[in-house]
Amino acid sequence: MEHLAIIMDGNGRWAKARNKPRISGHRAGAEALDRVMHYCREAGIRYLTVYAFSTENWKRSKAEVSGLMKLLSNYMRSKEKELVSNGVRFRVVGRKADLSTKIQREIAALEEHTRGGDFTLAVALSYGGRAEIVDAANEWRKTNPGKPLTEEDFRSFLYAPDIPDPDLIVRTSGELRTSNFLLWESAYSEYYFTDVLWPDFDRAEFDKALASYSKRERRMGGRLK
């Protein structure tokens, strides 16, 4: 597997079960991400995309949104050295312009400083699959409006056209939906759903997801015989 994508869901329920504020669930979620990144590298996976904040998540309370933005900012600052020394290339996919100018600057700096990494961590922030398709269509319209559009042309206008489509998409916390994640890119992705809440996602859960994936037969519409 080259590319694993994860819908990191269940932080709020994890915190609620412990009588803690939702933000402490998000903090535990960031720790789970560090663990899983490590497992991915050991498994030889080269790209990890994680859904951290959707275009719909702006509807949450001001306190939760600002807590998440602060967490992101702290994460980027405190992890920079580690990401660089571990060869992790940090990227953000999503409507970056929706984020504060301070966070946009921090993202741009971290993307630049980690450019040489051979493992890609793509964080989906203010990301929506429909928004991505609409943004791509608008970008295309600016450049080649007269020319008939192919799938390949269209892909080149997505947020990260150089990242291969995800092989497997994992969603934690028992929800059986995609919530607007990677609509274009997931056309032939495999899915794995688990009831485990994201902060509890551990090595055993990671191994289960990979074992499930390894049993799938990916035909991509074709037939061998």
Under rule CB under 5 A, residue 51 binds Mg ion:
no
- Bridge partners of residue 127, in order along the sequence: 54
Measured between alpha carbons, how far apart are the two ends of the chain, in Å?
Answer: 24
User: Interface residues for Mg ion in 5-34 (CB under 5 A)?
Assistant: 9
The stretch near Mg ion (CB under 5 A) out of 2-10, 72-80, 105-113, 202-210 is 2-10
Answer for the pair 93, 120: CB distance below 8 angstroms, yes or no: no
94 binds ligand IPE (CB under 6 A): no
Does residue 195 belong to the site contacting ligand IPE (CB under 6 A)?
no
Q: What mask of x and - would describe binding to ligand IPE in positions 155 to 174, judged by CB under 6 A?
A: ------------------x-
What is the spatial distance between Cα 9 and Cα 62, in angstroms, rounded to a whole number? Answer: 19
- The yes-or-no answer on residue 57 being catalytic is yes
- The verdict on 10 binding ligand IPE (CB under 6 A) reads yes
Residue 120 interacts with ligand IPE (CB under 6 A): yes or no = no
For the sheet containing 88-93, what is the strand order? 88-93, 119-127, 47-54, 3-7, 168-171, 190-193
Tokens of 75: 């994460």
- Fill in the per-residue mask, 201 to 220: x = in contact with ligand IPE (CB under 6 A), - = not in contact: --------------------
